[in-house]
Structure 1
Amino acid sequence: MLVAVIYIAELFFAHPVGGEMMTGLLTPSLTDSRQIYLAAGILGATVMPHVIYLHSALFKNSYGESTKTRLRSTRFDVLIAMVIAGFVNIAIVAMAAAVFHYSGNQHVAEIETAYMTLTPLVGKAASVLFGVSLIASGLSSTVVGTMAGQVVMQGFVCFSIPMWVRRFITMAPSFVVIGLGMNTTDILVMSQVVLSFGIALAIIPLLIFTNSERLMGEFKNNKWVSYAGMVIVTLVLALNAYLMFTLAA
């Protein structure tokens, strides 16, 4: 919510052209492999396959509520999360296009450069809010990653380690990347693309389980949910196959 509010303010500073933004939303185009690579990164950052396991654990531990109540609240929770995440991704792209591309600064492609360039283009407040949004999203993703790792280890591997060790392992790679002076933006995008490859690995067994009347009983997926899930998995697998082909080439 904090990141969403910040990007509402960022859009106010950036003044994107509403008509052109709506045209881009309604008629998107993917004309080269780099755009598809970035689209896969956005998909991985929005869905985050490890969160599917975490949501299952949160659903299971819902303080004695009925299954129907938990299903309704979880559906509402996921809907809100996806709407906010979708808005934030749209706002990031729209702000970058309005501020950098429109002003002739197409070379701005790194987080550090974007932060420094925002000040002379749209003011100090925009750059400060951009930095706050990075901190908030970083803390959120770190907490979610740590909790999801705990769920997977305890629920699937039946193995547990102290919380401080989990937190250290989760955060250590980012400090290594920074310490080695690597391009943080490239590493960030690559990590989200890798996440996109895990979406099918999480959704396929989830569909198998939730389509099973033996496991789900009256809460089994209806046929439209099953069909929609199959279409989504097919599209994700096609995207992954295309990325593997282009990266290998």
Structure 2
Amino acid sequence: MSQVDTPTSGPDLPGPGDSGPGDSGPGDSGPGDSGPGDSESAREQIRGRRLRSLRHLALLGPAFVAAIAYVDPGNVAANITAGARYGFLLVWVLVVANLIAMLIQYQSAKLGIVTGRSLPGLLGERLGRRARRSYWVQAEVVAIATDLAEVLGGAIALQLLFGLPLVLGGIIVGVISTLMLTLQNPRRQRTFESVILAMLAIIVVGFLAGLVVNPPPVGDVLGGLIPRLHGPETVLLAASMLGATVMPHAIYVHSALVVDRHGIAKTPERRKKLVRATRWDVVVALMIAGAVNIALLLLAAQNLRGKEGTDTIEGAYRAVADTMGPGMATAFAIGLLASGLASTSVGSSAGAVIMAGLLHKRIPLLVRRLVTLIPALVVLAVGVDPTWALVLSQVLLSFGIPFAIIPLGRLTADRSIMGEFADGILLRIVATVASAVIVLLNLALIVLVITGG
């Protein structure tokens, strides 16, 4: 529905004592002159534009929280591994994944704005009891894989910075992230967003600093934009990078974040305003997250390729210290720590949304946190290689993506649910192609695992 401006009065016609068009009466300013009234009107218009800009800025925020999921330690592991082993070969994967992420996060936020419900909540209303619980199981596995990556990353960062044992580091990350979760409710949503934004700033500085010191050749970066794969392991890495970039739990939680932040939009005008603001929110937030991911791969491709042991986070840290100095290595580790703390908080928030929507139960905060935290601590305790565990967790996330994006696409295309905000034909086609690419990539992974390729 387009908004039409209706005039409040009819056209101004000159009366018997009025001057006609183009005429100037006594005391009127001549052509090109402006009186005090015109100057004051111009200032009012400028102030009005500034006020509208501030109001639009005030609507931004939920996408930046969701974007934290796109710069978590799983991304660090997957992107560093790809860059260290294959140079600039897989840059195109990150570009494609980030474009898909923008589309999907916009759909998720739009669904929340228009319906006032989260994606898991809408699915929970439409699925039967058995289907709903089965769907929750796969979503919970995704949440556990997410927390595994984030707690592992934070623990590795604490070990690099302070020499702490990984298990102790994991416990510290779990405790701090649980405290941060107490800020995540509708009354404290802006405070939670402010904390997450501060951590996002630390992540950006920590991961981009090394790239500024030693930038890669432009030709090599452009060459990495040509889609191609070399062997089965690059397929595995591509799936890992895709799983780390298009995050199922971020899709689930974004639809809830906009409701917590803006409340239920009760009028079409309010919904239009929020949908417009959400487009900017998603584009800006995901451009920042995409830049960080690409920077990580470029950093590894430029500085770590061919060096023994640099396809792990610990090896990358040591190599950065050797090639660019301890200051850059410390910045990298601090960025990794901020990434782990912020992303595990967002991931736990997503777990709460999934449980509430699909189980129709409110689970205590501590119980929710332990469900996803304990598996991560077990992995740390048994001595599994942390970086490889991170990469495999991202592959597992990739398998969970279709369960999030296919129902999302069906709901946002349904006019009975979305009304005038339903996806258009072009958006539906693009979303279908994106879903098909992800599903085919996962099928290729299954074949590789079965055949031992």
Q: Tell me by how many angstroms 1:244 deviates.
A: 0.8
- Structure 1 Cα separation of the partners of residues 416 and 264 of structure 2: 23
Corresponding residue number in structure 1 for 2:272: 68
In the alignment, which of 220, 244, 253 is matched to residue 54 of structure 1? 253
In the alignment, which of 204, 224, 241 is matched to residue 4 of structure 1? 204
Corresponding residue number in structure 2 for 1:113: 315
Q: Tell me by how many angstroms 1:140 deviates.
A: 2.0
Q: Is the counterpart of residue 20 in structure 1 residue 224 in structure 2? A: no
Corresponding residue number in structure 1 for 2:298: 94
Q: Tell me by how many angstroms 1:212 deviates.
A: 0.9
Q: Is the counterpart of residue 122 in structure 1 residue 321 in structure 2? A: no
- Structure 2 Cα separation of the partners of residues 125 and 28 of structure 1: 35
Corresponding residue number in structure 2 for 1:244: 446
Q: Deviations over 1:112-156 (max 9, x none)?
A: 122122211210011101111111111122111101110011122
- Percent of residue pairs bearing the same amino acid type: 40
2:414–2:422 CA contact under 8 A, matched in 1: yes
2:309–2:316 CA contact under 8 A, matched in 1: no
Q: Tell me by how many angstroms 1:198 deviates.
A: 1.2
SS in 1 for 2:304: helix
Q: Tell me by how many angstroms 1:69 deviates.
A: 2.2
SS in 1 for 2:344: helix
Q: Tell me by how many angstroms 1:162 deviates.
A: 1.4
- Structure 2 Cα separation of the partners of residues 28 and 13 of structure 1: 28
- Structure 1 Cα separation of the partners of residues 277 and 244 of structure 2: 23
- Structure 1 Cα separation of the partners of residues 355 and 248 of structure 2: 15
1:200–1:237 CA contact under 8 A, matched in 2: yes
In the alignment, which of 389, 403, 407 is matched to residue 187 of structure 1? 389
Corresponding residue number in structure 2 for 1:42: 241
| Aligned Cα root-mean-square deviation (Å) | 1.6
- Structure 2 Cα separation of the partners of residues 166 and 50 of structure 1: 14
1:142–1:170 CA contact under 8 A, matched in 2: no
Corresponding residue number in structure 2 for 1:30: 229
Task: List runs of 5+ in structure 1 lacking aligned partners.
Answer: none
Range with greater deviation from structure 2 (61-70 or 31-40): 61-70
Q: Deviations over 1:23-65 (max 9, x none)?
A: 21x2243111111211111111112111111111123332355
Corresponding residue number in structure 1 for 2:351: 149
Corresponding residue number in structure 1 for 2:405: 203
Corresponding residue number in structure 2 for 1:79: 283
Amino acid at match of 1:49: P
CA separation of 1:231/1:36 partners in 2, compared to 1, >3 Å: closer, same or farther? Answer: same
Q: Tell me by how many angstroms 1:106 deviates.
A: 4.7
Amino acid at match of 1:159: K
- Structure 2 Cα separation of the partners of residues 240 and 127 of structure 1: 35
1:41–1:193 CA contact under 8 A, matched in 2: yes
CA separation of 1:81/1:43 partners in 2, compared to 1, >3 Å: closer, same or farther? Answer: farther
1:142–1:171 CA contact under 8 A, matched in 2: no
1:42–1:89 CA contact under 8 A, matched in 2: no
Instruction: Give the paired residue count.
Output: 246
The TM-score with structure 1 as length reference comes to 0.92
- Structure 1 Cα separation of the partners of residues 323 and 438 of structure 2: 37
Work out which of the two has the higher radius of gyration on C-alpha atoms and give 1 or 2. Answer: 2
After the TM superposition, list the runs of 4 or more consecutive aligned residues in structure 1 that deviate by more than 6 angstroms. none
1:46–1:82 CA contact under 8 A, matched in 2: no
The TM-score with structure 2 as length reference comes to 0.52
